Amino acid sequence: ASEPPMRIRLPAESLTMTINATFDAPVERVWQVWNDPRQLERWWGPPTYPATVVDHDFSPGGTVTYYMTGPEGDRPHGWWRVVAVDAPHHLQFEDGFADGDGRPDPSLPTTNCTVHLAPRDGGGTDMQVVTTFASLKAMEQLVTMGMEEGIRQALGQIDAILAG
């Protein structure tokens, strides 16, 4: 049986959410959907909340800032602090929410996100995204806010970008 194109595991005891996704494109091409801000903003938000990337510094210590525009015109802001980059196979960043001016919002939890891209036997790419939560409370808060479904919808847009 072939692997499903996307699998999300969310075991509470480990305080992690692990997403495994497969793509019919080489690793270098899949890396571009993270590394190119114009491609990143085509999928980082779910379809009803498209993202606009403002800053995109993909070096360790660099920041990525963005906002999403919702159907009612609301604009939630977010930020990444890049921890490690080993193109085109590995990316690690801290991910958080921001206020309307793009400053980190300490009232909402931050997560640590690690992305691994690896070539598949027979072609294509395996992508694993592991999100680590600071606490069970933080994990429950973000899951209640719809994080899992939002990520599923967001990642579901990557195939179209790769095909384009």
Q: What is the pLDDT of residues 4-25, one digit of tens each?
A: 678 999 887 899 999 999 999 9
| pLDDT value at residue 4 | 60
**Is residue 1 over pLDDT 50?**
no
Question: Which residues, including other chains, have CB under 8 Å from residue 86's CB and lie 6 or more apart?
Answer: none
Q: What local confidence, expressed as pLDDT, does residue 38 receive?
A: 97
Instruction: Confirm if 16 and 133 have CB atoms less than 8 A apart.
Output: yes
> What is the pLDDT of the chain when averaged over all its residues?
93
Residue 156 CB contacts under 8 Å (≥ 6 apart), including other chains? 6
Q: Work out the average pLDDT over 87-108.
A: 93
Q: What is the length of the chain? A: 164
Residue 158 CA to residue 88 CA, distance in Å, equals: 16
For 35-65, b/e burial (b = at least 16 CB within 10 A) is: bebebbbbbbbbeebbbebeebebeeeebbb
Extract the tokens encoding 133.
């939560």
pLDDT of residue 164: 86
